[in-house]
Amino acid sequence: MVKIEFLGPIGKEPILLDVKNLNDVSKELNKDENISIWLEKSAVALNDMIVNSLDIELKDGDKISILPPVCGG
């Protein structure tokens, strides 16, 4: 199982998914309209590292974070 965290204003509790790679996560998340509207403008991190490809295998216990648009300062 991997854990998906939704950061900042997305305001959704973490979910657990039984998936093999980031592509599967993307497919699952796009099924929920309340999440999919955020995906277009959100960055993705795997175990707290920003990723730039979905062709990444996942292992049990991995943490995926969805990071919506930021504005510090």
Partner 1 sequence: MIEIYNGPLDVKEVISRWLDEINGKNWGAFIPFVGIVRKEDGIEALSFDIYEPILEKWFDDWQKKAKEKGAILKMAHSRGVVPVFTSSYISAVMSPKRRIALDLIDEFVEDFKANAPIWKYDVIDGERIYAEARSTAMNGAGLMSKKD
- Cβ neighbourhood burial of 22 (10 Å; 0-12, 13-18, 19+): buried
Among 13, 14, 25, 34, binds partner 1 (CB under 8 A): 25
**With binding defined as CB under 8 A, does residue 69 bind partner 1?**
yes
**With binding defined as CB under 8 A, does residue 42 bind partner 1?**
yes
State how far the Cα of 34 lies from the Cα of 12, in Å rounded to an integer. 9
**With binding defined as CB under 8 A, does residue 16 bind partner 1?**
no
State how far the Cα of 72 lies from the Cα of 27, in Å rounded to an integer. 30
* Interface residue list for partner 1 (CB under 8 A): 7-9, 22, 25-26, 29-30, 36, 39-45, 48-54, 65-73
